[in-house]
Structure 1
Amino acid sequence: MKTILYNGKIYIEREQFAEAVLIEDGFIKKVGLSEDILKEEQCEAIDCEGKTVIPGLNDSHMHLLMLGESMWQVSIGDCTSINEIIDRCKEFIVREPEKVKHGIHAVGWNQDLFTDEKRCPTRDDLDKISTDIPIALERVCGHILTTNTKAIEMLGIDGNSPQWEGGTFELGEDGYPNGLFTENACNYVKAIFPDFTVKEREEMLSRAMDYAVAHGVTSVQSNDIGTSVLDVPTYFNMFHRFYDEGKGLLRYRHQVCFNNLNDFKEYIEEGEYVKGKYDEDSWLTLGPLKLFKDGSLGARTAMMKHEYYDEPGNYGIEWISNEDMKQYCDLALKANMQVVTHVIGDAAIEQTVNCYEKAFVNGKNLLRHALVHCQITDRPLLERIAKLEIPVMYQPIFLDYDMHAVESRCGKELSSTSYAFKTMVELGGHVSYGTDCPVESCNPFPNIYSAVTRKDSVGYPEGGFYPEECVDVYEAIDAYTIGSAYAEFMENKKGRIKEGYYADLVILNKDIFTVDKMEIKDILPVLTMVGGKIVYKR
């Protein structure tokens, strides 16, 4: 099957464009002028009508299955007050009695966006929703959640209970847990809710893929197994079956978490890592080990060298010790496996870089161990990351919220060298973009807008937040395509509209290279193609 896209503005690389592309058997065979490509016979021809065509966008770190789960549950992400959360959950209980018979677990609230009290909800608030079923509502970052009293009772804890390693639960003035849990303690709360069925998870995955391809995402590097789902063999099998049955709409690369070293060791010695079958050019691939070093800036649990300016004495929370991380990296080295680690605070980043460097191959980062988020940095740390060729998986869209909080938490000097998208490029670092969806929407265009303008969704501040770190559109698209491909060792097959590369591409409704920068966030695809197959058409 041959397909031609012609009469387009087809992005090749910086300031280079073509008019047409020939696609055959899922690969790009030729790129050039319309009149030349149209000489090919027995082809389906698609007129781009002068529209811009870019490579398919590749989210280098997100949680696709979690996106599907969030679409299945009560939506609280846009709530502007605790009372609105309460009302919306009450309405959901009435509307979806089957979905809440074992309780409510949803994600998305952000106290900094509340228009009245800018505080975290507590058990007293959630008890107004129900005292009969457990309720756990996660903050948008996923690093802090709040519960009602029923959930606390099911956990069997009180004010005298010991804290869990790597996380905390807070006590109220009465000495009883007030419903707020942080970091690893959140996992104990989530464990009281029965898991969804595999069939329900498949439906969630399908919904999430529909949304992603409708917004131009053709590849995801997704951390679901070990986070959203803990029954590792069952859900590896689910993904295999889903793709074997032709239900997959995009390319999916696993980023896999483990609760302990023994589980990881079993995985690399006799589990999916050695027994899983992934054919060459498969849309489903097996990727790196995913670790968590710290928490989030919004929850003040990111690990900082300096105490939080707005919470003296707080340096954040360490999820994994340096010794445990070393053991994970040593095992990964023996298995020839990449490691990617969630790091937000400068202390977490530095300690992770130290650990990575000790696990390099002959002094080089041949396994491409990467930093996910890498938000709070100073200049020496940026230079070290670039020099060691440690890839950085940035989420520019985080600035939409973080620009309003980072200076109060970290101070202006450190803020000026953080979210350093431009500097990392100038230093020659390997940069990719993602969204950490569903922490943010996986729609890539608001993400590109954030990288290019460094403004929030309403255009604040006028000149951009530390505008010297603004990238241009070429740099942003390259980070989202060839940069993300590099992060998964696919830069020779993915991320460019080039002969021999996968026919993953997107036709846009506006020219992203010439449109007013404020309009970038509103761009949408008119057609999304993966492996030469049209997976979305508007």
Structure 2
Amino acid sequence: FSAADFEDFLEPRPDLAPNMEADLEPVVRHLVEQRWPFRLHATYDESISRMLDVFEKVDRDIPFNGLPWLFDHAETISPRNIERVRALGGGIAIQHRMAFQGEYFIDRYGAKAAEATPPIQRMLAEGVPVGAGTDATRVASYNPWTALYWLVSGKTVGGTTLYPQGLPRATALQLFTHGSAWFSSEQGKKGQIKVGQLADLVALTAEFFSVEEEQIKWLESVLTVVGGKVVHAASEFDKLAPPTVPVMPDWSPVALVPGHWSPNAAPLSASIHQCIGSCAVHEHQHDRARRSSVPVSDHQGFWGAFGCSCFAF
């Protein structure tokens, strides 16, 4: 754990422990000796520099020689370290947490520094494999269209412009599909609609390449096919829908408000403060719930883990 930094831009950049290199080196040596692919989470260039020092030291003794490995996140990676990643045959997996934390980053480091967080264009220009994802649900939404909106528009979900120019739509989509296949060593097997590759495809509510930019984040699938099997169907394809998977736990808000919010969704007014089960703690009295000392924020305890089934909490 000494080789992990974190992404909370409300807090100062963490300095990795002085013993990080000594802890990380034997782990990396073992992975390379066994030819096991590996990935390491790193937000800051300062952390990445020290990690690459370890990788290069190991590579001199036990060549990586095509072993798949990658950094996750890399929001502030420098041009020099992108070159070092390429030289060792690594890749970089990027996620859209700047879409949610961009304003915090600007407050701490400034708008100029935010213009290359992460420097995707430079990564691609250097020939480094780049794949896009969401890192859901810890630091960002699971919705890929929120991420694609961020990549194309260069804006946060709050509307703040981060980058002088977003990515072309084809490039953004490729990072999520063909680009990400590299990270699971499935190049040529998935990520493209072509003969010989897995039949993974979607039909959308609108055309990604022509819809207004602000509408990208509201796109949804009406038909999702994975490996030739229909796993989701709605709207005109609803007769193809597989059986619904039960929501667990059954008191989850998803049971009442399924899916990702969109401006076209049914109004939630009928669901607000709606109780979905009996509750002996505050008897559905909302004022009593607000004043309650029950530790619902303690996720280690009963109430934090299981909660009360009334939305008044």
Shared fold by TM > 0.5?
yes
2:232 maps to 1:532: no
Aligned residue in 2 for 1:419: 118
| 1:431-446 equivalence runs, <5 A | 431-439=130-138, 440-446=140-146
User: Does the CA contact (< 8 Å) of 1:345 and 1:374 recur in 2?
Assistant: yes
Specify which of 354, 358, 371 is matched with residue 57 of structure 2.
Answer: 358
Sort the Cα spacing of 1:341 and 1:302 in 2 relative to 1 into closer, same or farther, 3 A.
Answer: farther
Give structure 2 stretches of 5+ with no counterpart.
235-313
| 1:17-56 equivalence runs, <5 A | none
User: Does the CA contact (< 8 Å) of 1:340 and 1:371 recur in 2?
Assistant: yes
Sort the Cα spacing of 1:401 and 1:360 in 2 relative to 1 into closer, same or farther, 3 A.
Answer: same
Specify which of 79, 82, 93 is matched with residue 382 of structure 1.
Answer: 82
2:12 maps to 1:293: no
Aligned residue in 1 for 2:181: 485
Sort the Cα spacing of 1:317 and 1:489 in 2 relative to 1 into closer, same or farther, 3 A.
Answer: same
User: Does the CA contact (< 8 Å) of 1:445 and 1:520 recur in 2?
Assistant: yes
- Shift in Å at residue 500 of structure 1? 1.0
Aligned residue in 2 for 1:323: 22
User: Does the CA contact (< 8 Å) of 2:94 and 2:130 recur in 1?
Assistant: yes
- Shift in Å at residue 421 of structure 1? 1.6
CA distance in 1, matches of 2:134, 2:172: 13
The structure with higher relative contact order (CA 8 Å, sep 6+) is: 1
- Shift in Å at residue 331 of structure 1? 0.8
SS of residue paired to 1:484 = helix
- 1:381-439 CA distance string (max 9 Å, x none): 233334443200100x2122332122333345543333112221122211001111112
- 1:152-211 CA distance string (max 9 Å, x none): xxxxxxxxxxxxx96xxxxxxxxxxxxxxxxxxxxxxxxxxxxxxxxxxxxxxxxxxxxx
Aligned residue in 1 for 2:170: 474
CA distance in 1, matches of 2:40, 2:19: 10
- Shift in Å at residue 518 of structure 1? 1.2
Sort the Cα spacing of 1:332 and 1:479 in 2 relative to 1 into closer, same or farther, 3 A.
Answer: same
- 1:511-538 CA distance string (max 9 Å, x none): 1011111111110001111111101001
User: Does the CA contact (< 8 Å) of 1:378 and 1:417 recur in 2?
Assistant: no
CA distance in 2, matches of 1:360, 1:492: 28
Would you tell me which structure has more strand in proportion to its own residues?
1
Aligned residue in 2 for 1:21: none
User: Does the CA contact (< 8 Å) of 1:400 and 1:455 recur in 2?
Assistant: yes
Q: Count matched residues.
A: 232
CA distance in 1, matches of 2:203, 2:223: 5
TM-score normalised by L of structure 1: 0.40
SS of residue paired to 2:67 = coil
User: Does the CA contact (< 8 Å) of 1:295 and 1:319 recur in 2?
Assistant: no
CA distance in 1, matches of 2:158, 2:110: 24
Sort the Cα spacing of 1:301 and 1:435 in 2 relative to 1 into closer, same or farther, 3 A.
Answer: farther
Runs of 4+, deviation exceeding 6 Å: none
